[in-house]
Structure 1
Amino acid sequence: MSDLKEDGFKTSEVLSALAQVFEKMPEAEKKSQIKKTNGVFQLSVKNSEGKEAVWVIDLKNKGEVTKGPAKKPDVSISLSDDTFIGLADGKVNAQKAFMTGSLKVKGNVMLATKLDGVLKSAKAKL
């Protein structure tokens, strides 16, 4: 999924890997993950140069990662490239990032808490 890559964004590497995990996932496992998560996450990521890119993790309908804004995301998350990488690596606590304002959430805040589990389970499969 090279169309997920965005120059200057470390996030795009992680999300490309996540997309590959979803592609290789057996259908039954994917359905289980969709049922468990049941949400569309829109990630607005800003890099160190101030450029912004948007990705969507659909774990409500298809179980895929796409680039560009979602029509109706259940939750929109705005954060920096470094914050996302920290979350994906497990070095940044999502609640702490939220409380300090480096992670902003619009929509279903409780759903946003599930993203951490999605990233961790995908990382385990890489």
Structure 2
Amino acid sequence: MALKSEKLFESMTPHLAAVGKDLVAKIGAVFHFEILSAPGAEPAWFTVDLKNGNGAIAKGKQGTADATFTLTDDDLIAVSNGTLNPQVAFMQGKMKIKGNMAKATKFTPDVLPKNVKL
């Protein structure tokens, strides 16, 4: 089953081409995303590098992350489109975060591209 969030991550490449340099200066961190199609399912991994150059997106775990987010595909999409507040997702256990919490809090939904066709 294809993940909706895969299209979200793919859409970040042109987004980073446009605004990546500013995001890298503001955030300065590498994030891993462990995305589950359903709780307990085999995860898909994505790396979001907002530390180097204009930023980059890669499928899989690339390098060492400052923070790792674990959540379901549907919850990531809900966070990205604004129907699920990231703090609420974390408090409800829908999103788990490992690593540097100060860096993790810099990755907010406004970093993600808007109006992605899923």
Q: Same fold (TM over 0.5)?
A: yes
Say if 2:8 is the partner of 1:14: yes
Report if aligned partners of 2:47, 2:59 keep a CA contact under 8 Å in 1. yes
Q: Residues 49-64 of structure 1 correspond to what in structure 2 (within 5 A)?
A: 50-62=41-53, 63-64=55-56
Normalising by structure 1, report the TM-score.
0.81
**Residue 84 of structure 1, CA deviation:** 0.2
Q: Output one character per residue of 1:50-100: Cα deviation in whole Å (capped at 9) or x when no partner.
A: 231000110001301101113210000100001100011011011111111
Name 1:40's counterpart in structure 2. 30
Return 5+ residue gaps in structure 2 as ranges: none
**Residue 125 of structure 1, CA deviation:** 9.7
Q: Residues 93-108 of structure 1 correspond to what in structure 2 (within 5 A)?
A: 93-108=85-100
Higher normalized helix content (fraction of residues): 1
Task: Tell which has more relative contact order, 1 or 2 (C-alpha 8 A, sep 6+).
Answer: 2
Report if aligned partners of 1:79, 1:103 keep a CA contact under 8 Å in 2. yes
Report if aligned partners of 1:47, 1:80 keep a CA contact under 8 Å in 2. yes
Return 5+ residue gaps in structure 1 as ranges: 1-6
| Percent identity for Structure 1 against Structure 2 | 31
> How many positions carry a matched residue from both structures?
114
Q: CA RMSD in A?
A: 2.0
* d(CA) in 1 for partners of 2:116, 2:52: 21
